[in-house]
């Protein structure tokens, strides 16, 4: 395992606004990078849902002097494992390879970001993939209900699903996607996290050479709009009913962040957490149940999900709501806190052993905090939690802003809105 105390985080901001943040990881031979572009679904034009996702696929189909096949072959020849995707806030490009191949991999991705071919003959195959993905969501109602929960809980555009809709994806034209790439693929607001076997001066100079001439552009303008409704049902003739809930909690930058993470994990973040124990194990009400934490920069939420049969759905919802209320009313036990702490620390240590995971964490920390948290800092924050401090915070987590969404053949009886 890499010695966390021997790691070194360095940062550089280029004149065009691109931020490079890197961490050496002694003892590893790999190197990885994660590039976050402020080009997620939230920044798509009205009626252009799915544009960010389609564009993330399009840019890899030929760039610079390479056509699509040559580009993928060049990455394969370097042993690069890579992925491109669009989320609500960002388009993310990530890659991992041997440390000696890091700069050649960055050279290829500089072409992908700055000089994509965007050939029109590639659009219809990409559209077909996007539509196929949307059809698969209909066969995965658990994922679909969470997408739709975000849309109703967060203000627009922050809750927009990145896949779009069949109607918007079918209507997207090449010219619109090129315009989106021109406006949103910009260095100002972009963050490049790099971790692993790196030489900082060589990396800093190479990134400057590859991305230094990337012209800055105007910051995106976002108009927030209320969404909702806070209580809703999606009618589907399925055998099961999907139940999803969300309520506000502390953001990553909040002093209460670790308390919020602890509350979410104790509620439903591991196999002996409260929801799993009370809803699934004791009563046998559902086949799947969990709670998770999700944050944007200015808002965050605890999301809960349960999938169950139609005849047990009402009781599942009622017990889930009762457990959320019990967490805020009765607090937590020391044993629960110890279990939560052990689980989160284990995941942090495993992250520290993976250059890919660490590069993503570097970029994410810089986006949310403007700095990078060390493993020692996070461990100390977790150690400082007490049952009393987490219980006091959980007591502030009422259900007054609770969003509830169900999907299935019949609606359930829901509590009134506060």
The secondary structure of 22-87 as a DSSP string is EEE-TT--EEEEEEEES-SGGGSPTT-TTHHHHHHHHTTS-BTTB-HHHHHHHHHHTT-EEEEEE-
The lowest-confidence range among 157-161, 217-221, 380-384, 391-395 is: 217-221
Residue burial 105-132, b: 16+ Cβ < 10 Å; e: rest: bbebbbbbbbebbbeeebbeebbeebbe
Q: Which of 200-209, 235-244, 270-279, 332-341 is modeled with the greatest confidence? A: 200-209
Task: State whether CATH 3.30.830.10 applies to domain 231-408.
Answer: yes
Shared fold status for 4-211 and 231-408: yes
Contact 127, 172 (CB under 8 A): yes
Domain residue spans of the chain = 4-211, 231-408
Confidence of residue 347 (pLDDT cuts 50, 70, 90): confident
Confidence tier at 398 by pLDDT (50, 70, 90) = low
Q: Shortest CA distance to 189 belongs to which of 38, 86, 361? A: 38
Question: Which CATH class name applies to 4-211?
Answer: alpha beta
Q: Could you give the count of Cα atoms lying within 13 Å of 9 in the half-sphere of its Cβ?
A: 19
- What does the pLDDT read at residue 149? 98
Residue 380 has pLDDT above 60, yes or no: yes
Peptide bond into 229 cis (omega under 30): yes
- Write the pLDDT tens digit of every residue in 298-329: 999 999 999 999 999 999 999 999 999 999 99
The pLDDT value recorded for residue 352 is 73
Q: Give 333's pLDDT tier (boundaries 50, 70, 90).
A: very high
Q: How distant is the alpha carbon of residue 228 from its chain centre?
A: 21
**Per-residue pLDDT reduced to its tens digit, 60-86:** 999 999 999 999 999 999 999 999 999
Q: What percent of the chain has pLDDT over 70?
A: 98
Question: pLDDT at residue 6 above 80?
Answer: no
Using CA atoms, how far apart are residues 228 and 288, in angstroms rounded to an integer?
25
Average pLDDT over residues 267-279: 93
pTM of the model: 0.93
Locus of tokens 């100390």: 380
């Amino acid at each position: 395992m890499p010695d966390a105390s021997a790691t070194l985080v360095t940062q550089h901001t280029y004149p065009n606004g691109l931020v490079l943040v890197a961490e050496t990881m002694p003892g590893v031979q790999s190197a990885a990078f994660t590039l976050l572009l402020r080009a997620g679904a939230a920044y798509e034009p009205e009626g252009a849902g799915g544009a960010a996702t389609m564009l993330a696929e399009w840019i890899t189909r030929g760039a610079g002097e390479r056509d699509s096949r040559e580009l993928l072959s060049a990455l394969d020849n370097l042993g690069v494992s890579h992925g491109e995707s669009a989320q609500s806030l960002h388009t993310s490009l990530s890659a991992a390879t041997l440390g000696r191949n890091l700069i050649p991999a960055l050279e290829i991705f500089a072409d992908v970001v700055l000089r994509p071919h965007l050939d029109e003959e590639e659009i219809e195959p990409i559209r077909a993939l996007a539509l196929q993905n949307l059809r698969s969501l209909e066969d995965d109602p658990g994922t679909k209900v969470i997408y739709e929960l975000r849309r109703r809980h967060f203000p627009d555009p922050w809750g927009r699903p990145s896949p779009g809709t069949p109607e918007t994806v079918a209507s997207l034209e090449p010219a619109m996607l090129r315009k989106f790439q021109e406006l949103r693929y910009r260095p100002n607001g972009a963050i490049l996290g790099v971790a692993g076997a790196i030489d900082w001066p060589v990396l800093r100079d190479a990134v400057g050479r590859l991305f230094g001439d990337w012209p800055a552009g105007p910051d995106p303008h976002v108009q927030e709009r209320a969404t909702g409704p806070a209580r809703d049902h999606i009618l589907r003739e399925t055998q099961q009913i999907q139940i999803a809930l969300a309520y506000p909690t502390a953001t990553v930058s909040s002093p209460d962040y670790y308390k919020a993470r602890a509350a979410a994990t104790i509620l439903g973040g591991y196999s002996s957490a409260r929801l799993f124990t009370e809803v699934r194990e004791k009563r046998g009400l559902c086949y799947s149940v969990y709670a998770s934490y999700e944050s944007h920069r200015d808002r965050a939420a605890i999301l809960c999900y349960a999938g169950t049969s139609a005849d047990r759905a009402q009781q599942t919802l009622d017990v889930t709501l009762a457990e959320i209320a019990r967490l805020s009313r009765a607090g937590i036990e020391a044993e629960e806190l110890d279990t939560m702490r052990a689980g989160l620390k284990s995941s942090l240590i495993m992250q520290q052993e993976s250059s890919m995971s660490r590069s993503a964490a570097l970029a994410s920390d810089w986006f949310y905090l403007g700095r990078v948290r060390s493993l020692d800092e996070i461990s100390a924050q977790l150690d400082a939690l007490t049952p009393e401090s987490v219980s006091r915070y959980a007591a502030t987590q009422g259900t007054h802003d609770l969003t509830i969404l169900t999907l299935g053949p019949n609606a359930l009886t829901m509590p009134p809105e506060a």
